[in-house]
Amino acid sequence: MITLQNIEKVYRTSSIETLALNNINLNIRKGEFVSIMGPSGCGKSTLLNIMGLLDEPSKGTVELDGERIGQYRDKELARIRNRKIGFIFQSFHLINDLTVLDNVEIPLLYRSANGKPRQSYAKDALEKVGLSNRVKHFPKQLSGGQKQRVAIARAIVGNPEIILADEPTGNLDSGMGNEIMNILQTLNNDGTTIVMVTHDEAMAKRTHRLVRLFDGTQVL
């Protein structure tokens, strides 16, 4: 599903070059639940951004469903992100000025979906994460766990094949973290491919496969 070959990422400033990823080769199969672990600054998020087409590698190739992404234009990349990939972030990234329902609808806005079906899909997604009673709430009125569930609803509202989760339980206590993990496992059981960056060994053990990074290099 996602194939990374010889991925290298170098961040350059006028005075310094930082090698964030070095010779990463990774193949994520359809339906897999893969966790990526490693110490802070080892390149986990960079790797996830490259998989999510939010960042370009300095070297190497990214293939999605057998297609090389390298030459794709902004419009095509945006379309793939919108149709195939769902994102979940550690800090939720909800828009505070929009209600829960409006936040969940955002990916559908970029598909030019009409208002009523858009609301219907968003409500379905919120029901899946157990927040159908909070549609008119604003993010500030929710707990951390509820915010992350809204973020998951937003990630799944467009039925993506892949979910990329960057430390989804990082800002939550263990109880909330387990709840979020249960939801992710349910989604994976329903066929969604999930790649998750985590610092939590216990969470990583609940996934199919573990990839370890150290100083930008894949060690496992």
Partner 1 sequence: MIRHLLKLIWNKKKAHALLLVEIWAAFMVLFGLTSLIVINVRNYNQPLGFEYENAWAVLLNNNQDTTQVAEKIQRILDRVEAFPEVEAATRMSGNFPFSANTSNNRIDYGKRKTLADFFTTDENFAKTLNIPVVAGRWFRNADSVGKYTPIVLNRKAKDELFGDENPLGRVLSDRYKVFGVVNTFKSKGEYMSDNPAVFELMDAKSAWHSTLLIRVKPGTDAAFEAKMVKAVTTMVDDWSVEVNYLTDSRKNRHNLTLVPVIIFGIVSSFLLINVALGLFGVLNLSIARRRGEIGLRRALGATGSGISSQFIGEIWVLATFGLLIGFLFALQFPLMNVFDVEAGIYLTAIALSTVVIYGLVTACALFPSRQAALIQPAVALHEE
Task: Return residues touching partner 1 (CB under 8 A).
Answer: 45-46, 49, 52, 54-55, 74-75, 78-79, 81-83, 87, 89, 91, 93, 95, 97-98, 102, 105-107, 109-111, 115, 154
Query: Which lies closer to partner 1 via its Cβ, residue 67 or residue 97?
Result: 97
Closer to partner 1 by Cβ: residue 55 or 209: 55
Using the minimum distance from each CB to partner 1, give the nearer residue, 139 or 177. 139
Between 114 and 205, CB nearer to partner 1: 114
For the bound state, the minimum distance from the C-beta of residue 27 to partner 1, rounded and expressed in Å, comes to 22
Least separation in angstroms between residue 212's CB and partner 1 is: 21
Strand partners of residue 68: 63
- We find the least distance from the C-beta atom of residue 216 to partner 1, in angstroms, to be 15
**36-41: long-range contacts (C-beta < 8 A, 24 or more apart)?**
36/195, 36/196, 36/197, 36/198, 36/210, 36/211, 36/212, 36/213, 37/197, 37/198, 37/199, 37/201, 37/204, 37/210, 37/211, 37/212, 37/213, 38/212, 38/213, 38/214, 39/214, 40/199
Closer CB to partner 1, 109 or 220, in the complex: 109
CB 34 within 8 A of CB 205: no
Shortest spacing between CB 25 and partner 1, in angstroms: 21
Nearer to partner 1, 102 or 179 (CB): 102
Instruction: Round to whole Å and give the CA distance between 62 and 66.
Output: 9
Q: Residue 50 Cβ, how far from partner 1 at the closest point, in Å?
A: 9
In the complex, what is the shortest distance from the CB of residue 100 to partner 1, in angstroms, rounded to a whole number? 13
